[in-house]
Amino acid sequence: MSRSAHPAGPRHADVLTDGHYSAPPADLNALDPKVWAHTVGRDADGAVTVGGIPVTRLAEEYGTPAYILDETDFRERARAWRTAFGADADVFYAGKAFLSRAVVRWLDEEGLNLDVCSGGELATALSAGMPAERIAFHGNNKSPEEIERAVAAGVGRIVLDSFQEIVRVAHTAEALGKRQRVQIRITVGVEAHTHEFIATAHEDQKFGIPLAGGQAAEAVRRALRLDGIELIGIHSHIGSQIFDMSGFEVAAHRVVGLLKDVRDEHGVELPEIDLGGGLGIAYTSDDDPREPHEIAKALTEIVTRECESARLRTPRISVEPGRAIVGPTAFTLYEVGTVKPLDGLRTYVSVDGGMSDNIRTALYDAEYSVALVSRTSDAEPMLARVVGKHCESGDIVVKDAFLPGDLAPGDLIAVPATGAYCRSMASNYNHVLRPPVVAVRDGEARVIVRRETEEDLLRLDVG
């Protein structure tokens, strides 16, 4: 949504929550390809289609709300990352963004590796047949059982996050008669330009071992002394929804600085560095994300330059995009239940889901766009707020959006760019059932995660 001072002065109807004024887009029926999945379009009747299937048919067959995932788009984005980084680098898809067995198989087929951060994600990856050596295991408090399972399975790397964990992983591996490949996650003091709760490389936070005060160098010292682990590199993840590459530049500079110190002190050149994930996507037309090939070029150049000036061999680079691969590939399909105009303010549009299928608006103040997808409309735009069905006034899906003024109960609306961190952070609040994920490809749809049922809920409630 474009933001500007309103030329004619304040008018209630288009005062957005943040005090800006906004003009409605020229054509409410247009679907900005920046925020919608690749195969999205409209058919002759005006219904939005994905992979050649109208959303009206998807709603009929699978119900609403539902996450509709464009498999073709997912594979294209995964492949674009893989191709951009080439054979001398590794792309680990961050499973926390969205993980299911179908997704694991697509990643495997497209040649990507996988980053998991819990026993549950590891189990999903292994059960879908992802080769263990292509899995990286993360987390700031891995349980002894998780560590043992990861080592026993033979994961390609465990990313160590604390001094205690260095010892725990080394001992577990030794007990299993193995030598586990590990990286050490450090914090480099970079705060990415993003929402405070999801920025993770500044020092005052739970992840990683601070570079400051020599703690990271001490972690390397200890790791190099232990037989059960083989230190292969340093890991840094600086935040989320980042557009500006300068944060990565500072991070790479500092990581390479540590590699140089390690070489000078121990005579060891660590062969790998991981720069994490965090690359931004377009949630609204205002966002301008970079293409994978631009990101790959920028990161490779930064690391190569830093290593040349430190006289180090350029290490193998890996990255961990989650949102940038899956985020744009899915939208959430809702049915409108009620339309409530509040005079001089805005119109509240209630849908059949809400904060249980998308907590990001309530939690991070995230911005989304929305469109009427079951038909087109020439009605005047109205300033709307899309809200859910939960017993909480903060249950907002899209805070400020223009929708056609003739929107009515029974219409289908869709919120694009919900592929990342929506299903994976979904809850059962109010015992609302979590929606299915329906994958669409070349005119065919199939459920890859089914809708939760009341039986599912009651099965956990053992009385």
On whether 225 is known to bind a ligand per the annotation, the reply is no
Site for ligand LLP in 308-337 (CB under 6 A): 320-324
* Strands 53-54, 135-137: pairing kind: unpaired
Tell me whether residue 17 or residue 205 sits nearer to ligand LLP (CB atom): 205
For residue 274, which of 19, 89, 81 has the smallest C-alpha distance?
89
DSSP 247-259: HHHHHHHHHHHHH
Q: For ligand LLP, what does the binding mask look like between residues 61 and 90, x meaning CB under 6 A? A: ------------------------------
Q: Contact between 279 and ligand LLP (CB under 6 A)?
A: yes
DSSP 266-279: HS----EEE----B
Site for ligand LLP in 97-126 (CB under 6 A): 97, 115
Tell me whether residue 137 or residue 334 sits nearer to ligand LLP (CB atom): 137
Stretch that binds ligand LLP, among 65-73, 93-101, 288-296, 402-410 (CB under 6 A): 93-101
Least separation in angstroms between CB 440 and ligand LLP:
22
On whether 375 is known to bind a ligand per the annotation, the reply is no
State yes or no: is 391 an active-site residue: yes
Tell me whether residue 134 or residue 138 sits nearer to ligand LLP (CB atom): 138
3-state secondary structure of 183: strand
For residue 138, which of 182, 89, 204 has the smallest C-alpha distance?
182
On whether 368 is known to bind a ligand per the annotation, the reply is no
Residue 125, H or E segment = helix 119-127
On whether 60 is known to bind a ligand per the annotation, the reply is no
- Cβ-Cβ contacts under 8 Å for 305 (sequence gap 6 or more): none
Least separation in angstroms between CB 78 and ligand LLP:
13
For residue 74, which of 24, 41, 39 has the smallest C-alpha distance?
39
Least separation in angstroms between CB 455 and ligand LLP:
29
Q: Contact between 277 and ligand LLP (CB under 6 A)?
A: yes
Tell me whether residue 279 or residue 448 sits nearer to ligand LLP (CB atom): 279
Sheet bearing 53-54, strands edge to edge: 41-42, 48-50, 53-54
Least separation in angstroms between CB 273 and ligand LLP:
13
Least separation in angstroms between CB 344 and ligand LLP:
33
- Which residue type is seen at 186? I
* Rounded Cα gap, residues 112 and 150, in angstroms: 19
For 459, list phi and psi in degrees, rounded to 5.
-65, -35
Structure tokens at 203: 């020092």
Stretch that binds ligand LLP, among 246-254, 276-284, 286-294, 329-337 (CB under 6 A): 276-284
Quick one: DSSP state of residue 191? -
Binds ligand LLP by CB under 6 A, chosen from 415, 421, 437, 449: 421
Buried b vs exposed e over 72-90: b needs ≥16 C-beta within 10 Å?
bbbbbbbbbbbebbeeebb
On whether 323 is known to bind a ligand per the annotation, the reply is yes
Tell me whether residue 138 or residue 385 sits nearer to ligand LLP (CB atom): 138
For residue 115, which of 91, 84, 93 has the smallest C-alpha distance?
93
Binds ligand LLP by CB under 6 A, chosen from 228, 233, 247, 278: 278
Rounded (5°) CA angle 121-125-131? 140
Q: For ligand LLP, what does the binding mask look like between residues 229 and 248, x meaning CB under 6 A? A: --------x--x--------
How many residues does the structure list for the chain? 463
Tell me whether residue 289 or residue 436 sits nearer to ligand LLP (CB atom): 289
For residue 282, which of 250, 243, 251, 246 has the smallest C-alpha distance?
243
* Rounded Cα gap, residues 52 and 290, in angstroms: 27
Q: Contact between 137 and ligand LLP (CB under 6 A)?
A: no
Tell me whether residue 182 or residue 382 sits nearer to ligand LLP (CB atom): 182
Least separation in angstroms between CB 236 and ligand LLP:
9
DSSP 395-444: -EEEEEEEEETT--TT-EEEEES-SSSSSTT---GGGPPPPPEEEEETTE
Binds ligand LLP by CB under 6 A, chosen from 198, 310, 312, 447: 198
For residue 38, which of 309, 428, 442, 387 has the smallest C-alpha distance?
442
Q: For ligand LLP, what does the binding mask look like between residues 337 and 376, x meaning CB under 6 A? A: -----------------------x---x------------
Binds ligand LLP by CB under 6 A, chosen from 276, 328, 419, 435: 276
Rounded (5°) CA angle 102-103-109? 90
Tell me whether residue 14 or residue 146 sits nearer to ligand LLP (CB atom): 146
Least separation in angstroms between CB 33 and ligand LLP:
21
Residue numbers in the known binding site are 278, 320-323, 360, 364, 392, 421
Q: Would you name the residues annotated as active-site residues? A: 391
Name the residues that contact ligand LLP, by CB under 6 A: 94, 96-97, 115, 138, 198, 237, 240, 276-279, 320-324, 360, 364, 420-421
Residue numbers in the known binding site for pyridoxal 5'-phosphate are 278, 320-323, 421
Residue numbers in the known binding site for substrate are 323, 360, 364, 392, 421
